[in-house]
């Protein structure tokens, strides 16, 4: 079991393919408490985080940043201890030598729902800002933008070979946000 004085070096942990040969995330991580490091295709560290359910967190990150999630390293612990989790997270970032973008400037892209308003096309923005639109008309436009972005994300994941079911929270689409249900 990992304790604060027994923090494994990130370099010593094995890379795990984010999406396995069956097109799934590693189910052995379901319900596991731990710290994880996410790497891009070139195995460059992108984000370090911790969770009470590593599997669910990895699933969220995959949807939010599919182009950055190719490899993962994980250290699980038996009992939830924020102090130990934060110590491991801090040690891994320090070991990396530089703060990964996902823990710095791009943190909101990794930790917050996808804001589709920022992804509107020029035509969608013009339609949304039309002064004759009421709140309901704007909500429909936002919902359609959310559906388009959702389809793009799912297509990108399918192209990567993902087979698992991904479901977004339908209520958040009305607010222009995409997050897993």
- Range in 3-7, 61-65, 143-147, 172-176 the model is least confident about: 3-7
Last residue of a domain, one of 111, 146, 166: 111
- Which of residues 111, 144, 166 is at a domain's end? 111
Q: What is the pLDDT of residue 15?
A: 97
This prediction has a pTM of 0.91
Side-chain-side CA neighbours of residue 165 (13 Å): 2
Residue 104 shares a structural domain with residue 121: no
Q: How many domains does the chain have?
A: 2
Residue 1 lies in a domain: no
User: 154 and 94 in one domain?
Assistant: no
Together in a domain, 15 and 89 = yes
Domain extent, residue 119, equals: 114-178
How does the average pLDDT of the chain come out, rounded?
94
Residue that wins the pLDDT comparison between 3 and 151: 151
103 contacts 93 by C-beta, under 8 angstroms: yes
Over the stretch 93-128, which tens digit does the pLDDT of each residue have? Answer: 999 999 999 999 999 999 999 999 999 999 999 999
């Amino acid at each position: 079991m990992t304790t604060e004085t027994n923090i494994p070096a990130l370099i010593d942990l094995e890379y795990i393919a984010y999406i396995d040969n069956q097109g799934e995330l590693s189910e052995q991580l379901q319900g596991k408490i731990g710290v994880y490091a996410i790497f891009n295709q070139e195995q460059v560290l992108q984000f370090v985080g911790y969770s009470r359910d590593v599997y669910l967190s990895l699933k969220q990150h995959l949807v939010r940043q599919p182009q950055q999630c190719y490899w993962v390293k994980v250290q699980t612990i038996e009992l939830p201890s924020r102090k130990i989790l934060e110590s491991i997270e801090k040690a891994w970032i320090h070991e990396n030598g530089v703060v990964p973008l996902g823990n710095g400037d791009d943190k909101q892209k990794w930790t917050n729902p996808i804001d589709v308003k920022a992804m509107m096309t020029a035509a969608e923005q013009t339609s949304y800002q039309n002064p004759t639109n009421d709140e309901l008309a704007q909500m429909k436009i936002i919902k359609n933008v959310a559906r388009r972005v959702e389809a793009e994300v799912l297509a990108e994941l399918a192209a990567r070979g993902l087979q698992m079911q991904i479901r977004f929270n339908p209520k958040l689409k009305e607010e222009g946000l995409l997050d897993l249900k």
